Amino acid sequence: MADDGMVIVGASLAGAKAAEGARAAGWKGPIRLVGSEPHLPYERPPLSKSILLGTDGPVTALVHDPGWEVAEDVDLLLGAVVERVDLADRTVEVGGRTLRFSRLVLATGSSPRVVDLPGHDLPEVLYLRTIEDALALRERMLPGRRLAVVGASWIGTEVTACARQRGSEVVMVEPLSTPLERVLGPEVGRFFASLHAQHGVELRLGIGADAIIGAEHVEGVRLGDGSVVPADTVVIGIGVTPNVALAREAGLEVEHGVLVDASLTTSHPDVLAAGDIAEADHPLVDQRVRVEHWANALNQGLTAGRNAAGATDVYDRIPYFFSDQYDLGMEYSGWPVPWDDVAFRGDPADGAFVAFYLQAGRVVGGVNVNVWDVNEHVQELIRSKAKPDRDRLTDPDVDPATWMAT
């Protein structure tokens, strides 16, 4: 084992899990886990759920118990920004310090997309990505306050739900016809529109934001039709951009993300990538896949760490994510590919259903809303690439365990 050890750039979920995976796979050398934030590695889903709602504190989001890094002999460098990776010299420059590596894992995550609108730099225009963001936003989500949420994304819809539960008035602005339309399509999107409307959210759908109004402080948002919705806080939730600059400047192959094979190895044989930045060859689909969700960061991080330590695992998990909004819980599994049909098991009007996304008769995705213990069966359908009987899928009396039956 080379004395230079392993360097992991990015100390959020994927990076922390990479360190865990490397140790579990038998890596005995040094591991240096470098993160730009001052906190111990933490998971991001609680930021837009229980922490934002105020039912949990930041410590509940930690990836590992405090002291894990000492027990596992992981050198944790926090509040440290990596300036440069030199693949020829096998070095990482961080805060005036040079770290040498024999294996490198990149888990640099992503950053919120920033709006380029008049008024975007007013102090009450907020994003949600870090613990500090969540705590600052929570302080503004109070009865009598009015939030404008620009973008009905997962972040946008979850922030909206938390704000309403904390007593704030909320208007949701989205240029598409329904919330979450790009991911779930208009059929399921209409269910989420109804959910938020039932909880008192003002929906301004099919129209975008043109400007954020206010001289020194936010006063509202002007929409594309010229109308103005009053607000004292604006939350931007229009997606994220993968942090690939470091990889690109190092000379690795980068397209939408850092290109990796099925083992998460980049164009350099001793450099791996995981999480939001990894654009991976996936054994089950004929395309590269880049996934920005919690489960991907967790599981890819473990695989990247194991493989950096010498394993040869193939990453073939089906993308999965979950969301909690009001009293709704949902899970989704599937690929970011087009579908030509949506089949429902149960009626969305009843608040509990499963929706299957089909392409040429095959299930490529599925969402279960307030229905539990079915997601593993949805994943089985997707992985099989079979063409199940549509009537069996949609019949609520059929046991999900038999969906694969012919």
Please say which residue of 192, 217, 236 terminates a domain.
Answer: 236
84: confidence class by pLDDT, cuts 50, 70, 90: very high
Question: What is the average pLDDT score of the chain?
Answer: 96
pLDDT of amino acid 335: 84
124 and 100 co-located in one domain: no
179 and 159 co-located in one domain: yes
Q: Is 318 domain-assigned?
A: no
pLDDT of amino acid 360: 95
Q: Is 15 domain-assigned?
A: yes
Tokens of 135: 């705590």
252 and 391 co-located in one domain: no
SS3 for 108-167 is: CCEEECCCCCCCCCCCCEECCCCHHHHHHHHHHCCCCCEEEEECCCHHHHHHHHHHHHCC
Please say which residue of 264, 281, 308 terminates a domain.
Answer: 308
406: confidence class by pLDDT, cuts 50, 70, 90: low
Please write the tens of the pLDDT for every residue from 204-240.
999 999 999 999 999 999 999 999 999 999 999 999 9
3: confidence class by pLDDT, cuts 50, 70, 90: low
Q: How far apart are CA 277 and CA 320, in angstroms?
A: 17
304 and 221 co-located in one domain: no
Please write the tens of the pLDDT for every residue from 361-378.
999 999 999 999 999 999
Please write the tens of the pLDDT for every residue from 291-344.
999 999 999 999 999 999 999 999 999 999 999 999 999 999 998 678 999 999
Residue 223, amino acid: L
254 and 231 co-located in one domain: no
What mean pLDDT is predicted for residues 115-135? 97
Q: Give the total number of structural domains in the chain.
A: 3
pLDDT of residue 61 exceeding 50, the answer is yes
19 and 81 co-located in one domain: yes
1: confidence class by pLDDT, cuts 50, 70, 90: very low
For residue 232, give the CATH number of its domain.
3.50.50.60
Q: Is 322 domain-assigned?
A: no
Of 124, 87, 83, 115, the closest CA to residue 102 belongs to 87
222 and 119 co-located in one domain: yes
356 and 386 co-located in one domain: yes
pLDDT of residue 82 exceeding 80, the answer is yes
2: confidence class by pLDDT, cuts 50, 70, 90: very low
pLDDT of residue 89 exceeding 50, the answer is yes
DSSP-derived secondary structure for 224-242: TTS-EEE-SEEEE-S-EEE
Range of the domain at 220: 114-236
Q: Is 321 domain-assigned?
A: no
Q: Is 1 domain-assigned?
A: no
Please say which residue of 178, 204, 236 terminates a domain.
Answer: 236
Of 21, 192, 31, the closest CA to residue 101 belongs to 31
Higher pLDDT, 404 or 164: 164
Tokens of 331: 């899970």
Q: Is 298 domain-assigned?
A: yes
For residue 381, give the CATH number of its domain.
3.30.390.30
Give the strand pairing for 6-9 and 31-34: parallel
